[in-house]
Structure 1
C-alpha cells in the first residue's frame, strides 16, 4: 500500500471533529431520522455491555454470537452496524451473506482478551505442543477470539465455545482427544474444566509470550492446556471484593461471570454467562440482594431495570469495558451518515478461506450445544 493510501485510510478512520461538538439531542434525532430513512435495510445489533446512549438505538441486544446469528437471519438488512467489538463484527460478517455488509462504528473497539491470542503465537504454540504431546490435543476457542483463531481451530478439527455451553463443549472435546488446548481465556477454561471434574493439577498454562508450558504436575497427567489470556474487566474482581460484600451485606448473594478468576468463582454463590446473570436477576424475588461481578454498563442497566431489588457491583470501583465503550453516539451517527451519503466506512470483511474454516468451528459447536 502506498504512503498516500495509508494516510487516506487512517484519515477515514478518524471521526470528523464536528461530531464531538454536537448536542446529544441533535445526534439522537439524526440517528432516528436515518433509521427511519433506511428502514429494514439497516440493522443495529447492540451488545449487552454497550452504553445506554448507544443501546437505545439497537434493534436487538444480546451476547456476541447471538447477535451475529440474528444478523444472519435478517435477510432484509443490507447494512449491519454492529455495536460491539471487532471480533463480534467479524463473526457477523462470517455468518451473513455476501449481499450484506457489516460495519463497526469505531475501528478502535477491540477486545483485549481476543488480542491476547494472535495467529502467529497460536501456530508457534501448536508446533511446540505437538512436539510435547503428539497428536493428542484438540483445540477449542471461546467465541471471544479473532476470526483467524476460529479458523485455526476449525482447520484442526476443533470447535468454538460460549460461556453458556462451555461445559458441553469441553466434555465433547475430551471424548475426541486426550487433551484440549483452550483459547484465549484461561479463567473460563479453568472454571469449566474444574466444574466437570478435572483437577487443577491436571491443567497447565501456555504462556504465548515466553513460548513455554507452565505446569506443576507431570506432562502425561495434563488434560487441559489453558492459553494465558484473560478478560481485563472480569479479572479485576477479587477475593477481597467478596470478603467486603460478606462483611457489609451478609444477606447479599454474589453472582459472577465465569471469566473471573477461579478463586473468585469458587467463593461466589453462583456464576454463569451474561444471559444467565440477566435471567437470574430478572427471576429473583422482589427485595432480594445481589452483588454482580460483570461489566459495569450491564450492572447499571440491571439496577435501573430492577428497582425492586438491591443490586450493586461486586467491585465498587469497577469501570466499564474501555474498548467496548469506544462505541459511542458520535461514532454511531458518523457511521450511519456515511452509509446514507454513499461512502460507508469501517466495513468488516473476513476473507473467504478464513471464514470457511471458522464456520467449521462454529458449526461443530452449534450441532452440539
Structure 2
C-alpha cells in the first residue's frame, strides 16, 4: 500500500505529540512493508526534493513551514505521489481540507490523525477539518469526543492509541532505584508540583522517588522539592529512552500521573505494562484516567492529599514487573488498527 502522510511539521521542526506520533506511524508502516512518503516542509540541507530517513521518504512541499502556501501546494504534490490512501495531521487544520480537495481528483480516501487542538488553529478551520475526512483517528476517547463536538460523525471516528513495545517490557532487567515514579516532559502542563506535594505529606514514611523527564519547568520542580525539604529523596533523572526508563519502572511500585493536559498518557501506559500501581490525578483536559478506570491496580484522585493516601494504600498490592493485559497496546497491534482503517476506507471509497 502506498501511504501519503501529510504533515507540514515534522519532529525536525518541532517535537510535539502530533509530530512524534506522525513519525512513529510512518516508521511502523514502513516496517510492515508499506511504501510511505511524508509530505512536509523541507527540514534537510541541500536542494533535493526528497530525503530518506529510517526507511521513510520525506518529500518537500515547501522550503519552510508556511501554512497558506503549503495548503495551496499539497494537492499538486499529492497528484505526483499517487497514494492509495492519504493521512493528514489535524494541524494546521486547513491542510485537512486541502488534502480532501486532492483526494477527490485522485479518488482515494482521506484519514485525519487528530492529536489535539492546537491553539494556533482557528475554531472555524477546525470545524471544517473535523467534517472533511472520510475517517478521523484519535488517540483517546477524550480526543474522539472533542472531534465529534466539532462535527465529525460517530461512525467516522476511531480510537487508535499510542503504542508501546512489549518486548522491551518483558526483556528488560529490574532496576531497584525508586519506590515511586513520575515521568513526563516537564513543560507548563506537567504539574509536577502535585506529585511533590503528595510526597511531602509522606515525610514520615519510607520511600524514594524519581522524576523522569526534562523541559522548561525542571528547574522550578527541583526548587519546589528543595522548598518542601524532600530533595534528598527525589532524584531528577532527566530525559530517558524507553530502554533506560523501563528497568526503573519495573523496579518501582507506584507511578503517579498528575499532568493537566494529556491527549494520551504514554508514560502511564509504560508504567502499567511494567506492573506499577498507577495513580491518576483527574484533570479535565487529560485522557489518563481512561487507562486506569476499572482496574484494580489503578485509581483516580483529585488532590495531592488523596494522591498521598493512595501511595500508602498501594502497599497492599504485590509487586509486579510485567502486566500482559496491556499487550493489546503493543506496536504490532496498534499498526494493525491503522491498516484496518485504511483498508476499510479504500474498500468503501471504491464501492461508492
TM-score (norm: length of structure 1)? 0.30
Whose helix proportion is higher, 1 or 2? 1
TM-score (norm: length of structure 2)? 0.31
Higher RCO, 1 or 2 (CA under 8 Å, sep at least 6)?
A: 1
Whose strand proportion is higher, 1 or 2? 2
